[in-house]
Amino acid sequence: MPLEWSGLSPELLLVIDRDSGEPLRSQLELRLRDAIRTGRLQIGERLPSSRELARVLGVSRGLVQECYAQLQAEGYLVTRVGSATRVAAGAGVPSTPASPPPASPSPLVADFRYGVPDLNSFPLADWLWATREAARTMSTAALDYGDPRGSAALREVMAGYLRRVRAAAADPERIVICSGYAQGLGLALSALARTGIRTVAYEDPGSPATISSAAASAGMSAVPVPVDERGIDVRTLARTDARAVVLTPAHQWPTGVALAPERRLALIEWAGRRDAVVIEDDYDAEFRYDREPVGALQGLAADRVISIGTVSKSLAPALRIGWMLCPPALTELIVGHKQSNDRGSPTLDQLALARLIESGRFDRHLRRMRTTYAARRTALLAALAEHAPDVAVTGLAAGFHAVAHLDGPADEQELVSAARARSVGLYGMSTFRSSRATEPVQLILGFGNVGERAVAAGITAVGGLLRGR
């Protein structure tokens, strides 16, 4: 379908040369023919009115009307009474026989994709309200290039929120607003590289591709450190030459374990002894079910921890809003990298988030989503108990994904493919192991964006596969 431009008369760039000696009408006809032949103007696309095009080009309206009439006679344009002049069908670039479009994949009964919140539950009405309030009350100065750390209003609100719900040592002066976790990680590693750190460690399983890529961009190398039921192995970490480590202490990705208290202390001791920095990915901290809340690691050692959080799980990934709690010694370096990276994140969205949190609507949304995810978690456990009772499930104390441990001989890729043939999306653990090993066979079952009925239907469809049949 052609683009349908709004407004009385869409703009069109055409250049005529009054010094060439060629008649203006001939030039205009030639420029329009070329625009249509090359596909610059698509079939059905609306042209400017003769009056508007004449005004822009500085020629008479009659000249434009004659030009349009000539091109209409040649079959390039079509004009109907009461309608705009448009490019005629068949007047554009000669079409080649198009290959048939690829068949659309059949819809899945359930897609247990990890890391995605319930997109249908995004609080659109509250977000629109917050955006209107932010736009209504913002100063004219807020429209200018601002502090690269981000809006002072959001940093103030975020500091109070993180002190209250995450027990963080949050100072608005040392908060940097960023465009999600990926940018925050890149800024942190770039700053650390400037201080002479050359090796960063990460959890295994974890996010090897993301962290290795970010480390390489910063001129650093990345080394994996194993994770067990108590979190990252700090003793193994100490045997590496890393002076930085990226980890998810509140809800380890993807195993779901929480970093044990004694390992938290050991990690802080390691950082002080090694003159190292911990980069804390504080994801999924808002959603917990049958365990006591776990505070941010940053609250224990604000001078050694960079804590990164986002609204990607609590609201939606598309908002691209995150924050960094920076140690005093690294704040200016990180702010400098942010300044050169993008001059700062969009201000209106920051102000809208501040209003959403201040108003209590953000907390209300989180309470509603905890109930929603808890119900889906229950539905997942019930379906597995009925259709695959021998499958052990871990990682369910927080967040919205679980890890299913399969016994007996199985091939991860064959299992995933067989599930897809039954219209169910399953995802293996191998992607998140540094070795890409497919054994032991474990599946990551995300239920954030899967309704209760779909959870039950999906597990019913693949129950036999999970049992090894």
The helix-helix angle for 50-57 and 61-73 (nearest 10°) equals 120
Question: Which residue, among 306, 359, 273, has the nearest Cα to 176 in the 3D structure?
Answer: 306
Say how far apart CA 357 and CA 359 lie, in whole Å.
5
The helix-helix angle for 361-387 and 124-137 (nearest 10°) equals 160
- Domains of the chain (ranges, CATH numbers): 24-87 (1.10.10.10), 110-117+367-466 (3.90.1150.10), 122-363 (3.40.640.10)
Q: For residue 362, what are its two tokens?
A: 């953000």
Report CA-CA distances (Å) from 124 to 130, 157, 361: 10, 21, 11
Asked if residues 189 and 218 have their Cβ atoms less than 8 Å apart, the reply is yes
Report CA-CA distances (Å) from 452 to 112, 240, 374, 392: 12, 44, 10, 20
What residues are paired with 402 via a beta bridge? 445
Question: Which residue, among 468, 377, 461, has the nearest Cα to 423 in the 3D structure?
Answer: 461
Question: Which residue, among 154, 120, 159, 178, has the nearest Cα to 352 in the 3D structure?
Answer: 154
Report CA-CA distances (Å) from 464 to 388, 391, 415, 421, 457: 7, 11, 11, 13, 13
Say how far apart CA 29 and CA 38 lie, in whole Å.
14
Quickly tell me which residue has 């992607």 as its tokens.
Answer: 431
Neighbour-count burial for 64-103, b at 16+ CB within 10 Å, e otherwise: beebbebbeeeebbbeeeeebbbbbeebbeeeeeeeeeee
φ and ψ at 190, to 5 degrees? -65, -40
Report CA-CA distances (Å) from 151 to 115, 135, 154, 160, 347: 28, 14, 5, 14, 6
Question: Which residue, among 323, 460, 298, 309, has the nearest Cα to 386 in the 3D structure?
Answer: 460
Say how far apart CA 194 and CA 390 lie, in whole Å.
51
Identify the pLDDT of residue 71. 92
Task: Give 401's DSSP letter.
Answer: E
Identify the pLDDT of residue 94. 61
pTM (2 d.p.): 0.88
E strand spans, 56-120: 77-78, 86-87, 110-111
Query: What is the enclosing helix (H) or strand (E) of 328?
Result: helix 328-342
Degrees to nearest 5, angle at CA 312 with 309 and 315: 115
φ and ψ at 241, to 5 degrees? -95, 15
Distance of CA 370 to the CA centre of its chain: 21
Side-chain half-sphere CA neighbours of 450 within 13 A: 29
Task: Give 26's DSSP letter.
Answer: H
Identify the pLDDT of residue 380. 97
Q: For residue 23, what are its two tokens?
A: 């008649």
Residues 6+ apart with CB under 8 A from 384: 391, 393, 404, 459, 466
- Count how many residues are written for the chain: 469
Q: For residue 310, what are its two tokens?
A: 């986002």
How many beta carbons lie within 10 A of that of residue 328, not counting itself? 11
E strand spans, 293-391: 305-310, 322-325
- The tens-digit pLDDT sequence of the chain (469 residues) is 556 665 566 788 899 899 888 999 999 999 999 999 998 998 888 899 899 999 999 999 999 999 999 999 999 999 877 778 999 988 766 655 556 666 667 789 999 999 999 999 999 999 999 999 999 999 999 999 999 999 999 999 999 999 999 999 999 999 999 999 999 999 999 999 999 999 999 999 999 999 999 999 999 999 999 999 999 999 999 999 999 999 999 999 999 999 999 999 999 999 999 999 999 999 877 887 766 778 899 999 999 999 999 999 999 999 999 999 999 999 999 999 999 999 999 999 999 999 999 999 999 999 999 999 999 999 999 999 999 999 999 998 889 999 999 987 789 999 999 999 999 999 999 999 999 999 999 999 999 999 999 999 999 999 999 987 6
How many beta carbons lie within 10 A of that of residue 136, not counting itself? 8
Where on the phi/psi map is residue 321: left (φ > 0), alpha (ψ -120 to 50), or beta? beta
